[in-house]
């Protein structure tokens, strides 16, 4: 009998919103929690921060600890779909825009390097308190 083991991937997500942030973050967390593919293990407290690199309202940020049996690319696709369900519109010419919901994988297992174009762990973790502080609450 051929038994195929599936690896459980632990990853961390930075959540951010500066358009109706409480409403959009709540909806995004509900959609993640309802997902059959992603298990939401921990949610940090809310962290308010000024917009960085752009003009705009303050951001509400949180960090999430999650697990999944999906691979990195499949996980990103689910998170991007949740962003879209929350009204996220991406401007290909300007990544520094206000947003309804941003779900960024900032840490994947203990992987160090580039995967699917993402540098992990995210180098901004050590640069910004709005990432470092909430992440420190949920990281194990």
Tens of pLDDT, residue by residue over 64-84, are 999 999 999 999 999 999 999
Q: Which range marks the domain in which residue 107 is found? A: 9-138
Above pLDDT 70, what percent of the chain? Answer: 90
- Is residue 95 a part of any domain in this protein? yes
Q: What is the CATH number of the domain that holds 131?
A: 3.30.70.560
- Is residue 113 a part of any domain in this protein? yes
- Is residue 2 a part of any domain in this protein? no
- Is residue 118 a part of any domain in this protein? yes
Tens of pLDDT, residue by residue over 6-52, are 689 999 999 999 999 999 999 999 999 999 999 999 999 999 998 88
Count of structural domains, the chain: 1
Helix (H, G, I), strand (E, B) or coil at 60: strand
- Is residue 92 a part of any domain in this protein? yes
Contact indicator for 104, 13 with CB cutoff of 8 Å: yes
- Those residues whose C-beta lies under 8 Å from the C-beta of residue 99, and which sit 6 or more positions away, are 16, 17, 18, 19, 88
Under the banding of pLDDT at 50, 70 and 90, the label for residue 111 is very high
* Residue 131: DSSP 8-state: H
Under the banding of pLDDT at 50, 70 and 90, the label for residue 54 is confident
Which tokens sit at 119? 């540098």
Beta bridge partners of 38: 68
- Is residue 4 a part of any domain in this protein? no
Above pLDDT 90, what percent of the chain? Answer: 80
pTM of the complete model: 0.90
Q: How far apart are CA 114 and CA 82, in angstroms?
A: 23
């Amino acid at each position: 009998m051929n038994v195929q083991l599936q690896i459980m991937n632990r990853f961390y997500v930075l959540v951010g919103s500066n358009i109706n942030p409480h409403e959009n973050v709540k909806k995004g967390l509900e959609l993640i929690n309802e997902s059959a593919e992603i298990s939401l293990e921990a949610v940090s407290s809310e962290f308010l921060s000024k917009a960085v690199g752009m003009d705009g309202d303050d951001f509400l940020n949180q960090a999430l600890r999650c697990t999944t049996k999906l691979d990195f690319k499949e996980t990103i696709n689910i998170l991007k779909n949740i962003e879209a369900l929350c009204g996220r519109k991406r401007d290909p010419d300007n990544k520094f825009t206000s947003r309804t919901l941003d779900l960024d994988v900032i840490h994947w297992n203990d992987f160090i390097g580039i995967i699917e174009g993402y540098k992990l762990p995210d180098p901004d973790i050590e640069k910004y308190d709005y990432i470092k502080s909430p992440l420190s609450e949920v990281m194990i």
